[in-house]
């Protein structure tokens, strides 16, 4: 089935989040080391960013490294860092040409200096782009994000920048890493896991969930279009009738 041809182009979700999961299992199925799965998964990042861009999606948020991923073996972490450097380096020109803004969710300064340098450069060089926001979650946790926002709000209250009575959802959202992105419409999790895993906890409030058994390295443009197609069949009520 070609799902792209079924899409209602006037009802494309503005903001999609993806938990990129299943790289390890993809490699294991082929008798390959896990790092091959991460490499194949990274190639899919490139394809899905391009597809999202072509579909006029305003914001795409990808879970690339969680605060819990530090528990993995050093060798696997190093491989992920290498891939990050490689992809930021090789894709940056195209990202700039496509007017895509890169934004990082999480404290990426805890990464090795070479990664920090590449990412900082990408953030600086795309900061005024506005066709699409590519949010990359790196050393990210949803609970951490909420705690961080709360601390920053308290600081601003103490400085007299805002008043306690002013704090509402809009103000709170402005302290989250995604403050420049529209509200999250759709969360996609491939690989058969039915969990949120500390991703975008605040932003998920009214998002539609799409779970798929396809492993991330097999998740292609048609899979993305299938998720959007199913999103378009849903009736979102936002608490109303």
Q: Which residues are catalytic?
A: 21, 69
Q: Which of 67, 64, 61 is nearest to 140 (CA)?
A: 67
CB nearer to ligand FPP: pick between 66 and 203? 66
Binding residue for ligand FPP (CB under 6 A) from 16, 48, 52, 83? 83
Residue 67 C-beta: closest distance to ligand FPP, Å: 12
Rounded to 5°, angle at Cα 21 from 20 and 22: 135
Residue 63 C-beta: closest distance to ligand FPP, Å: 7
Residue 45 C-beta: closest distance to ligand FPP, Å: 5
The encoded tokens of residue 9 equal: 């182009």
Cβ-proximal residues to 80 (8 Å cutoff; 6+ apart), any chain: 38, 64, 65, 69
Q: How far is CA 215 from CA 22, 28, 128, 231, in A?
A: 5, 12, 34, 20
Binding residue for ligand FPP (CB under 6 A) from 18, 21, 188, 198? 21
Binding residue for ligand FPP (CB under 6 A) from 12, 20, 132, 137? 20
Kindly state whether residue 48 participates in binding ligand FPP, applying the rule CB under 6 A: no
Radius of gyration of the chain measured on its C-alpha atoms: 18
- Residues 87-126 interacting with ligand FPP (rule: CB under 6 A): 87
Strand-pairing partners, residue 19, are 63
Binding residue for ligand FPP (CB under 6 A) from 16, 45, 102, 227? 45
Q: What 8-state DSSP symbol labels residue 136?
A: E
208 annotated as ligand-binding: yes
Chain positions contacting ligand FPP, by CB under 6 A:
20-25, 38, 41-42, 45, 62, 64, 69, 80, 83-84, 87, 136
């Amino acid at each position: 089935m070609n799902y792209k041809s079924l899409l209602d182009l006037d009802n494309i979700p503005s903001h999609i989040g993806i938990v990129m999961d299943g790289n390890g299992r993809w490699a294991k199925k082929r008798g390959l080391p896990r790092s091959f799965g991460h490499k194949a998964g990274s190639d899919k990042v490139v394809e899905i960013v391009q597809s999202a861009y072509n579909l006029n999606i305003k914001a795409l948020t990808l879970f690339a490294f969680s605060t819990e991923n530090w528990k993995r073996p050093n060798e696997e972490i190093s491989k992920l860092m290498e891939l990050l450097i490689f992809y930021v380096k090789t894709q940056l020109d195209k990202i700039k040409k496509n007017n895509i803004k890169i934004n990082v969710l999480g404290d990426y300064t805890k990464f090795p200096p070479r990664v920090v340098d590449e990412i900082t450069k990408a953030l600086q060089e795309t900061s005024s782009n506005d066709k699409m926001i590519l949010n990359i979650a790196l050393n990210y946790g949803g609970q951490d994000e909420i705690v961080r926002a709360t601390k920053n709000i308290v600081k601003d209250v103490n400085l007299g920048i805002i008043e306690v009575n002013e704090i509402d959802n809009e103000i709170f959202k402005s302290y989250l890493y995604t403050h420049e992105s529209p509200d999250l419409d759709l969360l996609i999790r491939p690989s058969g896991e039915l969990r949120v895993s500390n991703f975008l906890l605040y932003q998920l409030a009214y998002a539609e969930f799409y779970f798929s058994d396809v492993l991330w390295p097999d998740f292609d443009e048609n899979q993305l279009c299938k998720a959007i197609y199913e999103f378009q069949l849903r009736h979102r009520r936002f608490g109303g009738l």
